[in-house]
Every structure is written in structure tokens, then in C-alpha cells.
Chains A and B, each alone.
Chain A
Amino acid sequence: FHPAAGPSEPKMAGADGDDSLYPIAVLIDELRNEDVQLRLNSIKKLSTIALALGVERTRTELLPFLTDTIYDEDEVLLALAEQLGNFTMLVGGPEYVHCLLPPLESLATVEETVVRDKAVESLRKISQEHSPVDLEVHFEPLVKRLASGDWFTSRTSACGLFSVCYPRVSSTVKAEIRQHFRTLCSDDTPMVRRAAASKLGEFAKVLELDYVKSDIIPLFTALASDEQDSVRLLAVEACVSIATLLPQEDLETLVMPTLRQAAEDKSWRVRYMVADKFSELQKAVGPEITKNDLVPAFQNLLKDCEAEVRAAAANKVKEFCENLPEDGRETIIMTHILPCVKELVSDTNQHVKSALASVIMGLSTILGKDNTIEHLLPLFLAQLKDECPEVRLNIISNLDCVNEVIGIRQLSQSLLPAIVELAEDAKWRVRLAIIEYMPLLAGQLGVEFFDEKLNSLCMAWLVDHVYAIREAATCNLMKLVEKFGAEWAQNTIVPKVLGMANDPNYLHRMTTLFCINALSEACGQEITTKHMLPVVLKMSNDQVANVRFNVAKCLQKIGPVLDNNALQTEVKPVLEKLAADQDMDVKYFAQEAISVLALA
């Protein structure tokens, strides 16, 4: 160990490491640097070091050092765990990949979750690079050691490794792995049981069907009735995978009792999980069980006493209805689901209503025109009048579904007051959200309706007192012009925009410039040259410097739309004048415009 020995002169190195070139001690000094940040940087470039050392010295010198000195800041360990997952080539390819196991094994036992998870991720990755023999000789013993570790962290990590080695080992070893998994599922600490429960579905997928029935099902049942709700709710997730694996005739006896129990669990967290996974569960158990079991369960979730659960279920209403078997779908929805939905429209909790509002419009495509008009329309209208702006917004943002089925005219009478109210909401984020739907609404409502009812709103936003709204309004105008065309723009909005150039408020005058920036391209050369350019040029005499330098920026922006004649005879003189302005910023932007437009 010669810390003082510096690296010698660089010279061409062969494919393998050169001892004199990079003494391991110097490199290790870097990995040990007192400054955490430097240490971290070194670890992040571990592959560089390994490349410099060559594969053999990486195996014999670098990896033992890394294995021995695993006590560091979690951040450094995290970087190390990640690096080692990509190290196979650097230690000499798949036949040597097992050299990486010792340091990763230590990392898989540390306390900090992110480090451990990353180590497990890397182990899973390199497990694929092990030959079947190496997997049994090196990898599987590691999994066993972790699974029987003293402290909960190593057992937790083991849970994530069973499924990657199971498919590629002999049947004796398979039996051992199953045994270890069983043990961890009934571990003393809830942390390990949670880890096992979260990997139950993944493990079930790699097991032979007979073992799914004989091993996984009892574990599933046990975890689903664990004393801690945090374990039980993870079993619900596994339920989806398990149900997919089993033949239909076994579902009733092996899975359904547990699922029914979960849907009525006394902990809202478990019921929430059921609601959240409802579509997946529905697909996994198939149409028959859905009709007999899941429909009533879903009704209960929609009526749950906890708002959290109702909101999760409300979110699934559309998907659930969509996936119902086609024969009898309409009847089920009309008789079982719709009554619950009606109640949710006037729920006491705004999250529930807003979750419903984000999907309820989707029902119209499923139920068809007549049902929509008779049953859904009143609900839409009620939600459009809801006190909570988020509910109204969610309805408006999904109008396209209804448009396809019944046309938007049915709604327009109620739509208008709702839009107007949102457009004037005291919260600027609400105003912003409704602006973003304007182009969509304009497309669906048509140009006449728009001109008559909404145009004035769009113009009013241009003088909003919040900049973000004025900016969004500008952008909105551009999208409207793209939709309705240049002629429409010239007749309706351009005069109003240009009119603001004489406003006493300089912020409004600047809005004119911002609008021109946004509109010139969509409006085309003629309108830009004839109508917009004169206004811009005139504003170059504005007394506020901010307006003047925005004139320069604006000219730079609309320059490409103009023809050369206009540029030379009209734009150039003005920019030259601005380039000699008293104000530093005006000068700067004028000069920039001159050089960008190549007018110098």
C-alpha cells in the first residue's frame, strides 16, 4: 500500500490492466476520499476504474476491496449497488459474473430501503447472466443465506429473488426455494411478511400450476387474513395474478372466499385496494364471477362509509361497465350500477364527486343515445352545477365522449353558464384549466356558437391580472385561429387584439405584442403585413422601455413571415432606431433582432 506513489506517465495500455500505470492504492484512495461528494463521484465512475484495471484485476483487487469496505453513506452505497448491476462485462463476462455476488449480498442487507431495493434489482439483473449451473452453485445459496438472515432487512431482500432463480434450477432446489418462501410468508416481523406478500403474485407466476394450488393458495389465504392491514392489502394485489393463473373451475373454491372477505374487510385500506384493483380483478376472474360476485361487491364499494374507498371505486365505474359481458351489460348497469352512481353525484365529499366526474361521461358510449339522454344527461347537468370547480372541470374536459353519442347541443344550454362561471373563478388555476379546454370546446360547439357566446370570454382573459392567464389566453387564440382559419381571425379577433395597442396600461399593450407573436404565423403573410406590422412599428415609440424591447423581440419573431421588401423598408429602419435607444435592454434586443434577421 503506497498512498504516496502517484501514477506514472501515461502510455498505451493493453486490453488488460497495467499494474504500474494505476496502482490499486491510488484508485482506492479515490473511492475512500474524505469528501462524500468526491467519493460519490468516484463510485459513479466505477466502470472507468474497472476498465483501467482490466477484468482480472477488477476481480482480484477491486471487488474484494468493495466487499470489505461496505460501510458508507447510503448515497454512496446506492450508487455502488446500481453500478454493480452493469458490471458483468467488466469482470470478464457471464462466466465470472458470480464475482459480483459478495458485494451485492452485503448491500442487500443494509438498513436503507432504497439501497437494498437497488441491490436486489441488480441481483435480479445479473441472475439472468448466470448459467444454470452457476445459478445453483453461487446464486441460490446466496438467496438462502439472505432468507435465513438474522435481521429483517436480508429476509426482505430475499423475497425479491426467489422468482428469478426458480425457473432455472433443478427440482430439488425448487422445493427448497418454495420452502423458504413459505417460511418468509409467516415471518415474525410484518416488514418481511409485507415483502413476501408483495412478491406473492410474481412468485406464483413462475410456479408449476400444481404448486400454485398446493403452496401459493394457502399462503395467499393466510396473508389475506393477516393481523396487520398493511399485509392484507398486498394480498389483494397478488389476487389478480393468482386468479389469472388458475383455471376457471378452481377460482370459486380457491380464490373467491378470500376476495369476498377482502372486499368487506374492516380496514378501509384493504377495501380501497380492492376498489383500486377492481378492473384487473374483474378481468382475472372472468364474466361469470363478475356477474354474480363482483357486481354486488362493486355496489358496496360505491356506497362505502369511507370517502377514500368511494372515490377509488368511482374512478373505476367506466372501466368496470365497459368490461362487463356484453349480454346483460345494459341491464346490469341500469339496475345495479346507475342507482349508486346517482347517489355519488350528490356525495358529501368533493374528491368522490370529482373522481366520478372524470369518468361518468364515458358511460354514454356504453349505454347509447336514448339511455344517455334519459338517465345520464340529468347527472351531467347536475355535476356541471356542482359547487366544486374541479367537478365541473372534469365534466367539461370529457365532453368529447358525449359529443359522439348525443351531440353537444343537448348540453350547451347548461354548459354555457358553467363555462362562464369557471372562466371567472377566483382561483387562477381554475381559470387556467378552463382556458386549456377552449380549443376543444370551440371545435365541438362550432364557430357560430363560439362567436356568439365564448369569444368575449377569450378576449377578457387577455386582460386578466395574472400573467399566466394572459399567456394561456394568447396561446388559446393561436389554437382557435388554427381551427377556424385566417379569415375568421381577421374578422373577429385581430381588430380586438390590435385595439389593445392603445390601452393606457402598458401590460395590455404588451399583450398585443405577445398575441401578434403567437398569431402571425397562423394568420399568414397578408394579414401580418397589412394589419399587424403597422401597429408593431408604431409601438416602437412607446414611452415604456419594456414595450419597446418587446417590439424588437416581436419584429424578430414575425420577420420570417414578412417579405423582404417589408423587412428592408419598414422593419430595418425601426430596428436601427431601437438599436440606438437610451435603454440598455432595448438596444440589446434590437441588435439581436437585426442579426437574427440578417439586416445588418
Chain B
Amino acid sequence: MENTKLPPSSPTSPTTGFSVPTAEKIDGFPRRSMRRARQRRSHSSSQFRYQSSQIELTPLPLLKDVPSAELHDLFCQKLQQCCVLFDFLDCVADLKGKEIKRAALNELVETVATTRGILIEPVYPEAIKMISVNIFRTLPPTENAEFDPEEDEPTLEAAWPHLQLVYEFFLRFVECPDFQPSVAKRYLDQKFVLQLLELFDTEDPREREYLKTILHRVYGKLLGLRAYIRKQINNIFLRFIYETEHFNGVAELLEILGSIINGFALPLKSEHKQFLVRVLIPLHTAKSLSVFHAQLAYCVVQFMEKDATVTEYIIRGLLKYWPKTCTQKEVMFLGEMEEILDVIEPTQFQRVQEQLFKQISACISSPHFQVAERALYFWNNEYILSLIEENCHIILPLVFATLYRVSKEHWNQMIVSLIYNVLKTFMEMNSTLFDDLTSSYKVEKQKELKRERERQELWGRLESDSQRRLQLMEEASLNLRNLQEHQTPRHIHTQPEPSSTKTA
């Protein structure tokens, strides 16, 4: 049985800050953020579309004023009244109607939160209908095609004054002690959940916040929907990774998943492992990783803490998708790797150490000092240092040449002094090995150069040889064609290309 609870402190703040050097800001080209700042906050809404004729609302009596026998009827009437939608892009249109609906929604929220016994069976379909009519809509096209969630102001939902109350009602409804999952599941079905998940793409962060909490409650209470919800989140992520690269609610969905993973039963089902390997790890390739990296790293570490045997998949996966050109992402990867190494089991560490330290040594030689610095900080982590010490005989030969070279070449003095510290640490760990490596450094360098020369010679021969073979092949096929032309001149155009085997 899986249990779910939100993590004590939800991981919302990125672990690593990245500031743009001030030099970049005074280069004469205004940064996007400055350009944006001048624009007004934009509002958009696709909500108001299907209303062909506007119904005039008349205020109903207050819920608290009616005898309890009539309460449910009036409650349902109010729910029906709230199914009327208003045009919020025209802010002065039908102010009276808007106010009536707002008051009704407020009353509904209050009643469902405070009045016990309000959720009797006939209320469910009316409540779900009211929620569906209000929140389900095709999200409007984004006004800024290159919307950058880090730099640009999001487009806010214009109908929020009503929408917020509808979400509030939805939340109170699901959280209500009277809420009966066995009744609700008839109305909160798969189709409903699918539409709810699509809404996570909204640009409005307020809406995503509500959706996150509500979906989490629904996941917790409606057990029959759990597998379906997970599958659909998978599909959303896969579409995001491989098709559109655009979905605004990745961070929120990951946050929910973080607590879901926390509740996974052991041993892990293969479905869950597949989710880790084929969805969570590839999510690291996204261009907008920085927006949801904290939540993603939390999920990954959750998996490791559940079951240490997935460690190898995780680390090899991260190494496969290691950023090639984006240093900002590289710093994030290093941060995540440190979080992983912080909780890794020593036996798991040994399985991946070689590949891992090849990458780390590549990072150390990065000309971007933040990347090199972040990698060198691993040696300040006591647990990682102890792992390195235990496996010094393997790790030191992997990184030695890089450390040696970069200590002489790096432009940034801080990196150079960090490397000296690391070298000193190694020297203390295993001075014999260290001395051996120092004395053989030059020889190794020579060997490397020799190998490179040999490689080039090999390719040189291969190429000239292939040229010759290609000529032979072409001549042979030409001969063959001539031969065929003489024999069967009429069919020549229908013949397939002469095959090269005949040239042998």
C-alpha cells in the first residue's frame, strides 16, 4: 500500500544560484529582462467562448438563512448558477452578474468548509459539473512565442477572480471530512483527470499552485486513479522531452511525484524503475532544466534512498546526458551529482567510479571557472572524500593528468589554488602512487602523442585506400553497364544499378 504525503519542506528554491556577470549587462544590448520590464503585465483567457446567449443572474437567498431542510437544494442551485461564465477581458461587462457569482462562490466555499453533512450524494455531480465548466478550457496561445520562464512575466489568467474561488471550492470539496471517494469516483473519472493534468500547462503560477495541491489530494484519496495519473504524467513528460519541449507545469508535477515516490512500496515495481530510467533521467536533457531542476533532483534522490540498486542507472544516465555546451546546466548536473554521492552506498560507488571520475576530470579542465570550481568542491565534501580515499588507487590515476595539466594552465587563480589543495590531499592519501604518477607523467604524455600519430596514419591509409577501391568499383560498374548495353540495349533503363559484388 502506497502512502503519500508532501515532503516536509518542498524543494522550490534552486540549489545553485547563477548570476550573470555584470559585464554582460553593459554591452550595449539591452537584456531581455529589461525589455520585458517595460511591457505591461498581460492577461489572457480562453474561458469565455462557448456562451452563445448570456443568462442574467438573479441573487438567491443566502445559504445561512434557509432552514436545513432546504439547504441542499439551495446549495445545488448555487452550484448551477456558478456554471455561468463571464467575459473578464472586458472588465466592465456585466459587473452585476460577476458580483453575484463571486458572492455565490464565496458562500459555497465557506459552506463546504464548515457545514458538516453538506456533501450528500446528489451534490457530487453538480459540484463536479460546476468545477469542470469553470476550469476546463483550452489554454490560450502564449503571447510570447519565446517565453522564458526565468526571464519573462507570465501571462495571467484574466478570469482569476472567479477561477480562484472555484479552485478553492474544489480543494475544500476534496479535503472535506465528508468526502466519500467511493461516490466521487463516479464523477472524478479518467477523463476528468486527463483534463486536469492538461491545465498544468497554464502560464499562471497561481493556478498551477492550486492544481498541484488538488491533484495531490485526488491522488491520495482516489486509489483507483493512481496508476492512471502516473501514466498520464509520464505521457506529458515524454511529450515535453521528445516532442514540444514546452510545458509550464513540469516543476509542479515533479513536486507531486516526489511525494509519490516517497510512498512507493519495496521492492520497486518495474513500472517505477522504468519511469526513473526512461522519463526522469531524460528530463535532464530539457533546455529549461533550471526551472524544475530542484524538484527533479529531489525525485532522483528519493529513488536512490528507496532502493540503492538504481544508483548505477541514475549515474550512468546523467553521464550519458551530460551537457556539452551549456555550462549553466553543467553546474546543475554537478550539484545533483554531489547530492547523489552524498547518499551513495560505497559498493554502488565502486561500480560507477571510473566513468564518473572521467567526467569529473573533464569538468575540472573546463575553461568556465564555475564548472571547474563546482567539480573541485567535491573534495570538500567529507563523505565523498572518504569514498575517494578508499578507492584512491583507481581514482587518482584517472584524474592525475588533468589536475597536473590544469594546475599549470588554468587562467583563474582560484581554480589553480583549489587544484593545489586537491593534489595535496592526494599526496597525503597515497604518496607512493602520487610520486609514481608524477614521474611517469611525461612518458604517458609521449605515449599519448604517439597513439595520436598512429591513429592519423591509420586514417590516412584508410582514406587513400578507399579512394582507390571506390575508383575500382566505379570502373567495374561502368564496364558492367557497357557490357549490358551491348547485350540487351533495350532493357538498360529498367535494369537495377549494377551491384558491386560483381566487381570483386
Contact = CB atoms under 8 A, between A and B. Distances in A.
Contacts of A189: 235, 238
A229 B194 CA distance: 12
A48 interface: yes
Contacts of A26: 458
B462 interface: yes
B239 interface: yes
Interface in B481-504: 496-501, 503-504
Contact of B138 (A90, A93, A95, A268): A268
Contact of A111 (B48, B278, B454): B278
Q: Which of A48, A73, A229 has the most CB of B within 10 A?
A: A48
Interface in A94-125: 94-96, 111-113
A6 interface: yes
B469 A13 contact: yes
Contacts of A305: 46, 48-49
A266 B138 contact: yes
Contacts of B49: 266, 305
A92 B499 contact: yes
Interface string A501-526: 00000000000000000000000000
Q: Which of B191, B459, B498 has the most CB of A within 10 A?
A: B459
A330 interface: no
Given A26-B458, A49-B462, A227-B194, A111 B500 contact: no
A230 to B, nearest CB: 8
B73 to A, nearest CB: 32
A446 interface: no
Contacts of A49: 462
Contacts of A460: none
B476 interface: yes
A55 B500 contact: yes
A15 B472 contact: yes
A48 B138 CA distance: 53
Contacts of B235: 189-191
A305 B472 CA distance: 67
Contacts of B454: 6
Nearest to A269: B138
Contacts of A96: 501
Nearest to A311: B141
A267 interface: yes
A52 B469 contact: yes
Contacts of A52: 462, 465-466, 469
B466 A51 contact: yes
Interface string A298-336: 000000011110000000000000000000000000000
Contact of B468 (A13, A55, A151): A13
Contacts of B48: 305
Contact of B499 (A13, A21, A95): A95
A266 B50 contact: yes
A7 B461 contact: yes
B140 interface: yes
Contacts of A94: 496-497, 499
Nearest to A194: B243
Contacts of B499: 89, 92-95
A152 B468 contact: no
A10 B461 contact: yes
Nearest to A33: B455
A428 interface: no
Contacts of A308: 141
A256 B81 CA distance: 37
Contacts of A21: 465
A13 B141 CA distance: 63
A75 to B, nearest CB: 8
B466 to A, nearest CB: 4
Contacts of B459: 30, 45, 48
Interface string A23-40: 000100010001000100
B188 to A, nearest CB: 16
28 contacts: A7-B461, A15-B503, A30-B455, A34-B358, A47-B466, A51-B469, A54-B469, A89-B473, A89-B499, A92-B499, A93-B498, A93-B500, A93-B501, A94-B497, A95-B501, A112-B242, A113-B242, A189-B238, A191-B239, A191-B242, A227-B191, A266-B50, A268-B138, A268-B141, A269-B138, A305-B49, A306-B141, A308-B141
6 A-B pairs with the lowest CB-CB distances in the bound complex, closest first = A93-B499, A51-B466, A267-B138, A308-B141, A92-B501, A48-B466
Interface of B: 46, 48-50, 138, 140-141, 191, 194, 235, 238-239, 242-243, 278, 282, 320, 358, 454-455, 458-459, 461-463, 465-466, 468-470, 472-473, 476, 496-501, 503-504
